[in-house]
Amino acid sequence: MERKYFGTDGIRGRVGSAPIAPEFVLKLGWAIGRVLAPDGGGKVIIGKDTRISGYMFESALQAGLSAAGVDISLLGPMPTPAIAYLTRTLHARAGIVISASHNPYYDNGIKLFSGEGKKLSDEIELAIESCLQQTMTTVDSAKLGKATRVADAGGRYIEFCKSTVASHLELKGLTVVVDAANGATYHVAPDVFTELGAKVIPLGVQPDGLNINRECGSTHPDLLRRTVVEKGADLGIALDGDGDRVIMVDNRGELVDGDELLFIIAQSRHRRAQLKGSVVGTVMSNLGLEVALRSQSIGFERTPVGDRYVMEKLTQHGWNVGGESSGHIICLDRTTTGDGIVSALQVLEVMVETGRSLYELKTGMTKYPQTLVNVKMPRKVDVFGIAPIVDAVRKAELRMGDKGRILLRPSGTEPLVRVMVEGRDAHEVDRVAREIAEVVEQALQPR
């Protein structure tokens, strides 16, 4: 059975357009209850980010789960990783996240966690999709699910975040700018760093239902960069709308992306003999990360784009550190999913432990110049089966040798082919990328 609704990160779309519409989400809640609690009973927890549509979808899910005879624990606005954590500690059958992550307010989505706080298996997602094809029924009135609110969810999660670093860690003397993207971390992220002793300058902590990710957060870090420099802060932390991604800014106002943060965390784990196996990145991870890790005898493996695939590789081998350039970093020795606050804390712990600034820590890795060109795909074809494209890539790879890397990747969401080239020489990288993009464009023209 092929997936109809679930993508690599749940179900997502424009609010009001199928499937992100209240009638579908109502039935989705019922199907989740039927699959994960077929005997009725048990509970499912629901959390959301700060989008205005979250109220509507929270109510729809609640009604569907109740109709299936499942109790509901409502968390209100909470980060995605907090929902993963609380699903485990509250012994729920599943956790549901209402969020579209870094997307604008007019999008929304549904993500699911198992009772262990991990993303659902393909088999369970397919079972839910199968159940959606059935006629919705309601259990006997005496067996309807009840809903309660978890009043101390924020406090529980704050304590968990603090527990992922050494108990003696103190951030006194550090001034940290924290940008919560007007999203799900607005009421917890500043408190985590304040309680550990830092002076916190908060940004993006006034959500109004419409301003999530708007000119703030990890996808729009310009305000953070300016504020760090203007306030003379030691660093800045930018989270995305649902709190599972982070990028940082050093004291000079320079961005420190997911690849550089992953390097800092992995290098520290390796030095303390706490790194298990290789580090996992994606095909989009900068070549400089791979080179820097291998220079210290740390293995590096790549997966397709998506934290789901990074997680699968880590779990398969029993490794513990991986992530994406976007700042979705997974530390399986600390938690079960990507967590922006927890990842930032790991980096701050290295800063305090070594006495080095964030700028100094990132200099251990040199990012390679990278050029990305998007080529419109007028028709769906296998680009890897077109001889002129294959020949152009092969010749360019021979020319660059081990000093560069070429990647062709059809977009999973848009009619585009992404041509990415990276290497040591920025001019050569740019030239090769545009040469290959031109070949791809010509080869894809209608005959």
Q: Which region, left, alpha or beta, applies to residue 181 given φ > 0 means left and ψ of -120 to 50 means alpha?
A: left
**The predicted structure's pLDDT at residue 377:** 86
Q: Is residue 178 part of a domain?
A: yes
pTM score, whole prediction: 0.93
In a domain, 156, yes or no: no
Please give the Cα distance from 293 to 323 (Å, whole number).
14
Do 21 and 134 lie in a common domain? yes
Q: Is residue 2 situated within a structural domain?
A: no
CATH of the domain at 137: 3.40.120.10
Type of residue at 147: A
Together in a domain, 21 and 132? yes
pLDDT at res. 14: 96
> Which one-letter amino acid corresponds to residue 189?
A
Residue 3 falls inside a structural domain: no
pLDDT of residue 49: 98
Domain that holds residue 312: 257-367
**Are residues 344 and 409 part of one domain?**
no
pLDDT at 212: 98
Q: Provide long-range contacts, Cβ within 8 A and 24+ apart, for 115-123.
A: 115/87, 115/88, 115/91, 116/88, 116/336, 117/84, 117/85, 117/87, 117/88, 117/335, 117/336, 117/337, 118/84, 118/311, 118/336, 118/337, 119/308, 119/311, 119/337, 120/94
In a domain, 116, yes or no: yes
Counting the structural domains of the chain, the total is 4
Considering the candidates 101, 218, 325, 343, report the single residue annotated as catalytic: 101
269 lies in some domain: yes
Q: Is position 1 within any domain? A: no
Domain boundary among 238, 254, 270: 254
Q: CB under 8 Å to 55, separation ≥6 — which residues?
A: none
Do 422 and 400 belong to one domain? yes
Q: What's the pLDDT score for residue 1? A: 64
Same domain, 344 and 391: no
Would you call 59 a catalytic residue per the annotation? no
User: Of the candidates 367, 398, 417, which is a domain's last residue?
Assistant: 367
Q: Same domain for 284 and 407?
A: no
Co-location of 77 and 119 in the same domain: yes
Same domain flag for 143 and 18: yes
| Pair (261, 288) in one structural domain | yes
The pLDDT value recorded for residue 274 is 97
- Asked whether residue 196 falls in the same domain as residue 145, the answer is no
- Residue 5 lies inside a defined structural domain of this protein: no
Q: Are residues 191 and 103 in the same domain?
A: no
Q: What is the pLDDT along the chain (447 residues), one digit of tens a residue?
A: 678 999 878 999 999 999 999 999 999 999 999 999 888 789 999 999 999 999 999 999 999 999 999 999 999 999 999 999 999 999 999 999 999 999 999 999 999 999 999 998 889 999 999 999 999 999 999 999 999 999 999 999 999 999 999 999 999 999 999 999 999 999 999 999 999 999 999 999 999 999 999 999 999 999 999 999 999 999 999 999 999 999 999 999 999 999 999 999 999 999 999 999 999 999 999 999 999 999 999 999 999 988 889 999 999 999 999 999 999 999 999 999 999 999 999 999 999 999 999 999 999 999 999 999 999 988 778 888 999 999 999 999 999 988 899 999 887 667 889 999 999 999 999 999 999 999 999 998 876
Residue where a domain terminates, one of 217, 239, 254: 254
Q: Tell whether 94 and 212 lie within a shared domain.
A: no
